[in-house]
Chains A and B, each alone.
Chain A
Amino acid sequence: GAGVSQSPRYKVAKRGQDVALRCDPISGHVSLFWYQQALGQGPEFLTYFQNEAQLDKSGLPSDRFFAERPEGSVSTLKIQRTQQEDSAVYLCASSLVGPGVRIYEQYFGPGTRLTVT
């Protein structure tokens, strides 16, 4: 079946531009996560949705970062007034939760590589 998809796969933005990154999770997955992965580092948590509710946004680095999931499926991560330090790969992941689920495996998308020049 289809996995998590993300678009665009690559984005080059000039400093100060706004960008929007899209994530299509696996159908039926309630939980959706955004992570930021700098070169040579592990992914770092940004934010988490359960259905349309944003339950945790503690990892968003500044108020320039905003995420939404209005209908509980597709999610968009928006970065306003991009800075060079925002250059990274942005990974989206989804997982299944519910009664009887004991292994909270997260399925990652291919990521969007953002380069801010």
Chain B
Amino acid sequence: GQQVMQIPQYQHVQEGEDFTTYCNSSTTLSNIQWYKQRPGGHPVFLIQLVKSGEVKKQKRLTFQFGEAKKNSSLHITATQTTDVGTYFCAEMEYGNKLVFGAGTILRVKS
């Protein structure tokens, strides 16, 4: 089935620095969703992207969907300690099941 690859696996940043995680696929994605999972918590929906080249912003978070719909990114400006967690991208396949990437773990040093 479809696989989404996420990089980097892990990133440790100083508070105030920016952070970006990337999601890539060898085939065209019908859509991409992003979830955040805090340590010890469960995935929480952040956003859904559907259109080629789509860009959406949520405060300090910027989400992009590539023109070819084969990649997506999540960028956080000026990270805060509350941003700590694992960020997953996921494609929603037929039947609405989600196929998740392996996630990027973000640690923020204050």
Contact = CB atoms under 8 A, between A and B. Distances in A.
Interface in B69-106: 88, 90, 92, 95-103
Interface residues of A, number: 25
Contacts of B96: 31, 33, 48, 95, 97, 104, 106
Indicate the member of A43, A56, A104, A109 with the most B CB atoms within 10 Å. Answer: A43
A25 interface: no
B52 interface: no
Interface string B21-43: 00000000000010000000111
A31 B98 CA distance: 12
B42 A104 contact: no
Contacts of A48: 95-97
Interface string A76-117: 000000000000000101010100000111111111000000
Given A45-B97, A56-B97, A97-B96, A105 B45 contact: yes
A53 to B, nearest CB: 11
Interface residues of B, number: 19
Contacts, number: 53
Interface string A24-45: 0000000101010000011111
Given A42-B90, A55-B95, A106 B103 contact: no
Contacts of A91: 42-43
Nearest to B99: A45
B55 interface: no
Indicate the member of B42, B43, B101, B103 with the most A CB atoms within 10 Å. Answer: B42
Nearest to B88: A42
